[in-house]
Structure 1
Amino acid sequence: MLDGKILVIDDNKSVLSALEILLQFEFKTVDSISNPNQISTYPKLKDYDIILLDMNFSAGVNSGNEGLYWLKEVKKMAPAISVIMMTAYGAVDLAVKALKEGAVDFILKPWNNDRLITTLKSAYSLRKSQKEVKELKEKESNLKQVINQNKNYIIGNSTALNFVLNLARKVAKTDVNILITGENGTGKELIARELHRISARKNEVFIAVDMGSISESLFESELFGHIKGSFTDAKEDRVGKFEAANGGTLFLDEIGNLSLQTQAKLLSAIQNKIVVRVGSNKPVSVDIRLICATNCDLDKMVADGLFREDLLYRINTIRMEIPPLRERDNDVLILADFYLKRFAAKYGKQGLRINQAAYDNFLSHSWPGNIRELVHAVERAVILADGNVLKPADFLLNEKNVISFETGPDTLEEMERLMINKALNQNNGNYSAAAEQLGISRQTLYNKLKKSNT
């Protein structure tokens, strides 16, 4: 027995009784009404999967117009219901009219029991499939909203920032590839997300990939996907980032860290808009908006033979240079106040304020770590604050994040984060140099940065 709900509408009570007896063993619920005027007030009409609807209700009338009228009314009230028309007067043109108006099939009286049941089961399968598709689309839409949620904001009103935002508004509506450059911590991903938010793809997914954290051996699997059994740890099929971003935006951060070999593979996917999963030979077409970002000088890398010139041309239709914090005038003060309020609320220290001397210090500081450095300076000051007024000494800008053991971090995690900040500051944001100074690999540094959101 199928878990379906059937409603039969026919003015012949003998027909209703016969159908109820026949269908009670095939479907969970079989209801009936003899007057089509009850349709408009019938309770929970939308809950039915199938309606069997007679074509003629008035004595001596066999044009089928009454059935067509009530078919239209049903589809107005419950457009998703599968409707099957019934009549004792078969005509091809009448069947065509019914199908055009939204009926899924047509049954002649007297009916063949087996054919009727087969028709109803097919209609139920169609209805069930439509429900599943609708639910999947709703889930997909909700998932995209969750993925695209961005709790960070582009804050500031400096001339340098407004120039970038104006350029973003000009190019966002197009599908051209964009290369975002700038120092570490300037907010390149925020600009990429803003480009997606104001683009024609805003209702689709935004997928961000940190290329610096992907090992060369897993590059193809991460970007293009793999099939089960294609390598030792491939225990199931997996969609790559290109396929996951299909229809939306793919953001490739730190693209300057790719080896020449992986650059060639990426170039092929971008040029052909086709990817092939590892272990498969089936090409998969992808439709993405590509945004890349780097803090490297790609032009110099091309000259040094470290970056493919043809790949640079592909990703560099429009180049956007994000200004460092030191070139954004008073934006540093606006950002400091914003993060002060955020961290004061987070750590339950309401009423904190920054004094003028600290503001002056912010304006004169070079901010080698840019916004990332500012965020951590403010968070640290809020955590360690003893009073309500934060002074220059509370931000430790000139001490390069060194804290004495008397006032120092309470956890190993905090100490590790401070050491990373110090190494990045001393190496002007160069991840490779900072990692070498700390005695760890670049990938380990990336992983630690991600874990602490540094």
Structure 2
Amino acid sequence: GNEGLYWLKRILEHDSNHSVIMITAYGDVELAVRAVKEGAVDFVLKPWENSKLIATINAAIQLQNSRKEVKLLKEKEQNLKAAVKNDHTVIVGKSARFRETLDIVAKVAKTDANVLITGENGTGKEIIARELHQQSLRRNEVMVSVDMGSLSETLFESELFGHVKGAFTDAREDRAGKFEIARGSTLFMDEIANLSLPLQAKLLAALQNREIVKVGSNKKIPIDIRLVCATNSNLHTLVKEGKFREDLLYRINTIQIEIPPLRERVTDIPLLADFFLEIYCTKYKKPAFKLSDEVLEKMKQYAWPGNVRELQHTIEKAVILGDGDTLTLNNFFFSDAYTSPHTAVRTLEEMERRMIASSIRQNDGNLSAVATQLGITRQTLYNKIKKYQL
């Protein structure tokens, strides 16, 4: 018996994934149980029945295959984490406004404070969210993203909190929700303003209690996430209109980071244009195009209503259709409705400066009242006060 235990140990030292079946006499059952505790998958009593022996061997083979699959899945998970970590989004921009944003990111990232990222469509809110995660203490885990605007009323709880088998018609197996998947990591909720009031209440309860309950279960599961939300809406205005819960806003808005629109980052436009130009010339196997001086000047004058995303798509289309070695104005289309000479831009800025200054005087320096009157967030107001040196 001891000799069998010796070889069991030697086999498992060689490869712990091997399935070992012990064969023993009736009187050695206690020894066989000991062997199972030390790593054998089963034991067969002598004399054995062939059918039972075959069934035991088949079960051992299935167990060994399952172990291999689990090991493979773990390796794939590790590779995925490494790939995501290495696939770090490049952030392009040196303008003063954009550097201020990145400075705030650097200060906030090392904390677990909830962050609300605001800005117009196409400004790069998800990129800033990923930068927050990459600089955080949770960066070794994969950031989990969810588009709140795409969640229906019926799927909300299942997607975020998970469900157990049989909870509803199509629940054929247990499923983890986004909160559970993001344990120890960052959970990024995009388009947070699109949630209905009933769903906002459910989300608020989970955040306040720091626990979730899967659909069809009554077991409470603690959550450990760093929450980052994003929206292009003014949540303070939505609160006044009764469309967004004020208590939820305070819960998700420990720190607010506002990303400036591209028209306020004019010096970054050539940098971004060159960045996307290199990407798409490589992707579409085109020559190393250059942008003419006229194109760069037009880009600086253009208002870019779609912001960085619009600039990216504009460069991509020009590269696909371009010929020669230089892209000219003939390769681009800029709507006159969004193109203004610099003199007009300066005039608009002066009008904005006077409006803010007047509102500050009217409200006796109460910046919360000023932001409300102008229909902008406090962070936007602070940025403009600093820009215009008011």
TM-score, scaled to structure 1: 0.62
Alpha-carbon offset, residue 283 of structure 1: 1.4
| Residues 153-212 of structure 1: CA deviation (Å, up to 9, x unaligned) | 211111111111111111111101000000000000001001100111001120111111
**Distance in 1 (alpha carbons) for counterparts of 2:314 and 2:324:** 16
Which amino acid is the alignment partner of residue 123 of structure 1?
E
| Alignment counterpart, residue 47 of structure 1, candidates 5, 10, 14 | 14
Note closer, same or farther for the CA distance 1:149–1:242 as it changes in structure 2 (3 Å cut). Answer: farther
Q: Which has the larger radius of gyration?
A: 1
- Asked whether the 8 Å contact 2:5–2:35 carries over to 1, the reply is no
| Residues 340-395 of structure 1: CA deviation (Å, up to 9, x unaligned) | 11101111112211111000011111011001100100000011112221112312
Instruction: Quote the residue 2:107 is aligned against.
Output: 170
- The answer to whether structure 1 residue 161 and structure 2 residue 98 are counterparts is yes
**Distance in 2 (alpha carbons) for counterparts of 1:368 and 1:125:** 67
Instruction: Quote the residue 2:178 is aligned against.
Output: 241
Q: Which has the higher helix share?
A: 2
Alpha-carbon offset, residue 399 of structure 1: 6.8
Alpha-carbon offset, residue 236 of structure 1: 2.2
The within-5 A match list for 1:25-424 is 27=8, 47=14, 114-124=29-39, 138-148=75-85, 150=87, 152-398=89-335
Which amino acid is the alignment partner of residue 189 of structure 1?
E
Note closer, same or farther for the CA distance 1:296–1:287 as it changes in structure 2 (3 Å cut). Answer: same
User: What RMSD, in angstroms, separates the aligned Cα atoms of the two structures?
Assistant: 3.0
Q: Which runs of 5+ in 1 are unaligned?
A: 1-17, 32-44, 51-111, 402-454
**Distance in 2 (alpha carbons) for counterparts of 1:379 and 1:197:** 28
Alpha-carbon offset, residue 145 of structure 1: 3.0
| Residues 386-443 of structure 1: CA deviation (Å, up to 9, x unaligned) | 2221112312122789xxxxxxxxxxxxxxxxxxxxxxxxxxxxxxxxxxxxxxxxxx
Note closer, same or farther for the CA distance 1:139–1:119 as it changes in structure 2 (3 Å cut). Answer: farther
- Asked whether the 8 Å contact 1:205–1:247 carries over to 2, the reply is no
Instruction: Quote the residue 2:45 is aligned against.
Output: none
**Distance in 1 (alpha carbons) for counterparts of 2:227 and 2:71:** 29
Which amino acid is the alignment partner of residue 206 of structure 1?
M
Alpha-carbon offset, residue 277 of structure 1: 1.3
Alpha-carbon offset, residue 232 of structure 1: 2.5
Identity %: 53
TM-score, scaled to structure 2: 0.72
- Asked whether the 8 Å contact 1:181–1:188 carries over to 2, the reply is yes
- Asked whether the 8 Å contact 1:148–1:206 carries over to 2, the reply is no
**Distance in 1 (alpha carbons) for counterparts of 2:107 and 2:205:** 28
Note closer, same or farther for the CA distance 1:244–1:170 as it changes in structure 2 (3 Å cut). Answer: same
Q: Look up the SS of the partner of 1:217 in the other structure.
A: coil
**Distance in 1 (alpha carbons) for counterparts of 2:164 and 2:285:** 49
- Asked whether the 8 Å contact 2:117–2:230 carries over to 1, the reply is yes
**Distance in 1 (alpha carbons) for counterparts of 2:260 and 2:94:** 13
**Distance in 1 (alpha carbons) for counterparts of 2:108 and 2:288:** 42
**Distance in 2 (alpha carbons) for counterparts of 1:19 and 1:227:** 46
| Residues 293-313 of structure 1: CA deviation (Å, up to 9, x unaligned) | 000000000011110000000
Alpha-carbon offset, residue 143 of structure 1: 3.3
**Distance in 2 (alpha carbons) for counterparts of 1:243 and 1:30:** 39
Higher relative contact order (CA 8 A, sep 6+): 2
Which amino acid is the alignment partner of residue 193 of structure 2?
G
Which amino acid is the alignment partner of residue 14 of structure 2?
D
**Distance in 1 (alpha carbons) for counterparts of 2:337 and 2:319:** 17
Alpha-carbon offset, residue 235 of structure 1: 2.5
Note closer, same or farther for the CA distance 1:122–1:139 as it changes in structure 2 (3 Å cut). Answer: farther
- Asked whether the 8 Å contact 1:352–1:389 carries over to 2, the reply is yes
**Distance in 1 (alpha carbons) for counterparts of 2:174 and 2:298:** 54
Alpha-carbon offset, residue 332 of structure 1: 1.0
Q: Which runs of 5+ in 2 are unaligned?
A: 18-26, 42-63, 339-390
Alpha-carbon offset, residue 228 of structure 1: 2.2
**Distance in 2 (alpha carbons) for counterparts of 1:297 and 1:327:** 19
**Distance in 2 (alpha carbons) for counterparts of 1:214 and 1:150:** 27
Note closer, same or farther for the CA distance 1:125–1:362 as it changes in structure 2 (3 Å cut). Answer: farther
**Distance in 2 (alpha carbons) for counterparts of 1:233 and 1:149:** 37
- Asked whether the 8 Å contact 2:120–2:261 carries over to 1, the reply is yes
**Distance in 2 (alpha carbons) for counterparts of 1:142 and 1:169:** 27
- Asked whether the 8 Å contact 1:340–1:382 carries over to 2, the reply is yes
Instruction: Quote the residue 2:21 is aligned against.
Output: none
Q: Look up the SS of the partner of 2:155 in the other structure.
A: helix
